[in-house]
Structure 1
Amino acid sequence: MHKTQLQLVTITSDQARQRIDNFLRNQLKGVPKNMIYRIVTKGEVRVNKKRIKPQYKLQLGDKVRIPPVNIAQRNKIFISIKTNKIASLNYCIIFEDDYLLVLNKPSGTAVHGGSGIKFGIIEALRALRPESCFLELVHRLDRETSGVLLIAKKRSSLRILHEQLRIREMRKDYLALVHHQWPSYCKVVKVPLLKNILQSGQRVVQVNTLGKPAETYFTVEEYFDNATLIKARPVTGRTHQIRVHALYTGHPIAFDNRYGDRQFDLLLKDTGLNRLFLHATTLSFKHPNTGKFIVMKAPLDHTLNYCLNLLRKKTYTLKEF
């Protein structure tokens, strides 16, 4: 256990307009979110010598007092860049410039550490790029979901891209293989989702009227025997949204170990599929510097492509994608 020093920080233009709790998470690496919330609500963190709420948005020139905080040594983890899983991330980069970095995230890799995971993609990238002053996730993907992942390399870029998410200017498209024949008339699912945290720390999401609004658009890409390849476009960004909305319609996603159908998975055993068939294929947004609308695409990995090719040989295709 070690204790941080008292900090007095004057907010710059690059730090302005972000919530105080998010600002503190970057300033106090390794400090749990609940501790950050506690020191803010208790008034230990002051902005311009005044108490503030966790939702307070910092302004240019604000003077922030950050109190000393105890940090457990176990939160400091050495990450070897020689580890194959980390070194291979260099080959997953789709696009990079001075403002952002785009990855084709592999399945089975978490985007960040926590809940028993020592490190995730963002920690690995920081280890690979020690000279980078700023690397932050713009959005998240589930651990077993693959595909386009956007990372900001400047605080200003993160702020602009988060604003695009907030006003729903950013568009995400996913491909998923689901059970049964998806009805072509089912084009949108709009039901609220409630997230529960189990004692084990596992997150489980359910359709519940007490939950937050959630909306997903679906289109059929290809039909197979007892399965359908669909494109999903989430309007909102709730935890496990596509997976739970697909289950709600009676069409769970293949190899979903939380919301799936074991019998469906057994039907696909000869295809070589051994992971969740959910892939973020495209991400469309305005570049944070130029304002130009760009589309980033991530190809399917070998496992997903092999599965689809075998299914195509066994069945009559109604629609090619």
Structure 2
Amino acid sequence: MKEHNTQIHLIRISSNFSGQRIDNFLYTYLKVVPKSMIYRIIRTGAIRVNKKRIQFQYKLQVGDVLRIPPVKGIKVNRFNTKYMKEIAFLEKIIIHEDDYLLALNKPTGIAVHGGSGLKFGVIEGLRALRPKAQFLELVHRLDRDTSGVLLVAKKRTVLVQLHEQLRLKNMKKEYLALVHGVWNANIQIVSVPLLKKNISLYDNRTIYIDSDKGKFSTTYFYIKERFANIATLLTIKPITGRTHQIRVHTQHASHPIIGDDVYGDDQVNVQFKQFGFNRLFLHAYMLCFTHPNTRKKFHIYAPLGQSFYNCLFFLRNLIINNYNGALEYMRKM
């Protein structure tokens, strides 16, 4: 829940935030405030550290006392405690945890961040369940309707290290996706420039292929299983991490992901819904990275959710048994 900042906030800086620039800290803490406003309130002296004015380049130190006064227009994200029962499931979907990070197998339909009318996001829910945790931050994001591995850092130093691996493309990701039709075995790589247009934080219909202004993006595709001419299950390895990259690249290859209501085939989606399969069939299956503590390669795997598994089971039996004429019906898609 977003509340207007009507009181002074005093924050004592712990070791988790030592060395972080004040502008970056405020951008994370205040969430919905644009950076231009953060720079303005720092410049005017409204933000104080140890009762002194500071510059936006100032790096926080352990023990610093940060004062954020009431500033018109600033909103601070607050979690509404009436949703505590609804977020309890988050503890049950943790697939790995140690002193440095945790990973969840995020279900489809759950946003990683709250906002725009959403009751809560994964990260807000985790913080509410663990009020004593000094630091919990998302390492990366997944689309609301994409399921699978979601990584959370428990220390700022860990977050910095993992972000560096992402920047250098040293963090490897694998997805599973069910796409419409017969994927051409010759399509092993899609590399097209992607561009965001009219982007807003919660606008999904914003990614286009643009050869002139788009950013370089590359995805590798491997056929895992075919279901006649109905669908193909793919293992997907994105090299870059652009917004909606996999979804746009499969559309570009003329085999959109089933259940994609933005880049997919509406008729196909409706027909799968009639069989009870109403989700985006994209799952973040694996993450591989260098563990920030052991410095060894570390793999995290997220099993398929029940809805995805049920659809694959249905398609396999459909091909084998051709029961109730359903195969012919689906071949018309």
| TM-score (structure 2 length as normaliser) | 0.81
Partner deviation per Cα, 1:120-175 (whole Å, 9 max, x = no partner):
00011111111111111000000000000000111111111111111111111111
Higher mean displacement: 170-179 or 111-120: 111-120
Determine the C-alpha separation between the residues in 1 that align with 2:201 and 2:9.
Answer: 35
Partner deviation per Cα, 1:40-91 (whole Å, 9 max, x = no partner):
1673469996755xxx694879x897663346678434234642x3111111
Say whether 1:307 aligns with 2:311: yes
Determine the C-alpha separation between the residues in 2 that align with 1:25 and 1:18.
Answer: 11
Contact preservation (8 Å) 1:109, 1:121:
yes
1:210 counterpart (210, 213, 222): 213
Aligned pair count reads: 308
1:221 counterpart (224, 231, 246): 224
Q: Which residue of 1 aligns with 2:237?
A: 233
Alignment-mate amino acid for residue 217 of structure 1: Y
Determine the C-alpha separation between the residues in 1 that align with 2:136 and 2:145.
Answer: 22
Contact preservation (8 Å) 1:16, 1:59:
yes
Determine the C-alpha separation between the residues in 1 that align with 2:132 and 2:11.
Answer: 25
Higher mean displacement: 262-271 or 207-216: 262-271
What SS class does the counterpart of residue 237 from structure 2 fall into? strand
Contact preservation (8 Å) 1:243, 1:259:
yes
Taking only the aligned residue pairs, the percentage that are identical comes to 47
1:274 counterpart (274, 278, 296): 278
Q: Which residue of 2 aligns with 1:319?
A: none
Contact preservation (8 Å) 1:18, 1:159:
no
1:211 Cα deviation after fit: 2.1
Determine the C-alpha separation between the residues in 2 that align with 1:166 and 1:211.
Answer: 18
Q: Which residue of 1 aligns with 2:329?
A: none
Determine the C-alpha separation between the residues in 1 that align with 2:203 and 2:107.
Answer: 21
TM-aligned CA distance change 1:149 to 1:8, over 3 Å: closer
Alignment-mate amino acid for residue 124 of structure 2: E
What SS class does the counterpart of residue 177 from structure 2 fall into? strand
Determine the C-alpha separation between the residues in 1 that align with 2:39 and 2:65.
Answer: 11
Q: Which residue of 2 aligns with 1:37?
A: 36
Contact preservation (8 Å) 1:173, 1:233:
yes
Alignment-mate amino acid for residue 15 of structure 1: F
Q: Which residue of 1 aligns with 2:27?
A: 25
1:14 Cα deviation after fit: 4.1
TM-aligned CA distance change 1:77 to 1:221, over 3 Å: same
Q: Which residue of 2 aligns with 1:132?
A: 133
Structure 1 consecutive aligned stretches of length 4 or more whose deviation exceeds 6 Å: 6-10, 45-50, 63-66
What SS class does the counterpart of residue 17 from structure 2 fall into? coil
RMSD over aligned CA atoms reads 3.0
Higher mean displacement: 99-108 or 179-188: 179-188
Alignment-mate amino acid for residue 278 of structure 1: L
